[in-house]
A = this chain, B = another copy of it.
Amino acid sequence: MKIIVFHGSTRDNGNTELLTYQAVPKEKGTHIYLRDYNVLPIIDQRHDESGFDVVEDHHKDLINQMLSHDVIVFSTPIYWYSMSAPMKIFIDRWSQILRDPGYVHFREELSKKKAYLIAVGGDTPKIKGLPLVQQFNYICQFYKMTFADYVIGKASKPGEITKDTAALKAASTLIK
């Protein structure tokens, strides 16, 4: 079982990352820090006659890496009650992949994968983070991916996640 983690944080060693390492230690699995890659926001050309323009960035590299793993962990701080912009940019571009002749099996490939969500927020995240969970569930449903489980942690200041012992414990047994 090969695990890949997509980190949506924009700072190093933030609370979301710390919680995520409880689930997938650094040395286990492939850790992708989206902030280290150049991924451009989608331009919606689904309905253009000539389709999507080629985009020169790291998106396909990341998609290729994703497809070569069995388990995908989405790790995102909760910014304004939803996923971080880098995570959103990464996922929005899947619409382009879906129409890319090089990825005709994208949907089918994803349907074989298991997904997990790890999210950390400062403002009552176990309630106000639930719409985010529901959105990931819909994403997984679209691809018939198994949305295996999720953990929501509460933290705001650096290191504060260490106080959310329930989340830390839950994360440590998250991946099955």
Contact = CB atoms under 8 A, between A and B. Distances in A.
Contact of A41 (B10, B43, B173): B10
A80 B41 CA distance: 13
Nearest to A141: B128
A147 to B, nearest CB: 7
Nearest to A160: B47
Interface in A95-116: 95
A45 B11 CA distance: 8
Interface of A: 9-11, 14, 35, 41-45, 47, 77, 79-86, 88-89, 91-92, 94-95, 123, 126-128, 130-135, 137-139, 142, 147, 149-150, 157-158, 165-166, 169-170, 173
B138 A11 contact: no
A137 B127 contact: yes
B157 A47 contact: yes
A12 B81 CA distance: 28
Q: How many copies does the complex hold?
A: 4
A105 B100 CA distance: 44
B81 A95 contact: no
A135 B44 contact: no
A10 B89 CA distance: 13
A129 to B, nearest CB: 10
A132 B135 CA distance: 8
A131 B127 contact: no
Contacts of A165: 173
B131 A134 contact: yes
Given A9-B44, A44-B77, A123 B142 contact: yes
Contacts of A169: 169-170, 173
A138 B147 contact: no
